[in-house]
Amino acid sequence: MAFQLHAITTGKLELAQASEAAASIQPFVDFIHIREKQRSAKELFHWAETFITRGVPAEKLIINDRVDVALATGAGGVQLTENSLPLRQVRSFAKNIKAGCSIHEPADAAAIQGEAVDWLLFGHLYETASKPGKQPKGLELLQTTVGFSRIPVIAIGGIMPHHVQEIKAAGAKGIAVMSGIFASKEPAVAASCYRAEIKKEEKQIDEYCG
């Protein structure tokens, strides 16, 4: 699979700001996650509908935790956490949407092999303001996690554009970015910078392979 770029809402913006940012970044990203843990299912439904109305393709939209909202809005998928319904139960009634799982240790990746999951979101990789005082996982643990997994691993946590090369070298199949995009004063510019770094790496690989 091509190296992916996921953008994730921060939970700190109002709907008007977040939907405007989402519409502006969607040409540069593979998926946009609505991760608003403090909001009700009704609010999340309204958020998803607004994002789609503003021009975000429904297939690019991923709803954090709430499978019901993802299905009700026709979103592309759901991101499951340790507090979500178990993946097997989700797949029993949601077979045709993408499903990602959030993990924190290599053992989590090993335990989930064989499940019908599209990606594993692993982090946090670097120091990040959203996880104050918590030790980052680092590249070595990312590489170990990739080694345990036949499922694509997407790295998250404190990732800046210049980190793309070393993350790809560790074997990850994508990155997920929160504040680096949605907290930027110019989200589209920020997203385009991440995409440019991904394309730069892809070009270097193509040139190396001839």
Catalytic residues: 124
Residues 161 and 174: beta-carbon distance below 8 Å: no
SS3 for 113-127, per residue?
Answer: CCCCCCEEEEECCCC
Using alpha carbons, select from 171, 174, 176 the residue that is nearest to residue 144: 171
What residues contact residue 166 under an 8 Å CB cut-off, 6+ apart? 139
Is 78:97 a contact under the CB 8 Å cutoff? Answer: yes
What is the C-alpha to C-alpha distance for residues 190 and 80, in angstroms, rounded to an integer?
26
CB neighbour burial string for 103-115, b if at least 16 within 10 angstroms, e if fewer: beebebbeebeee
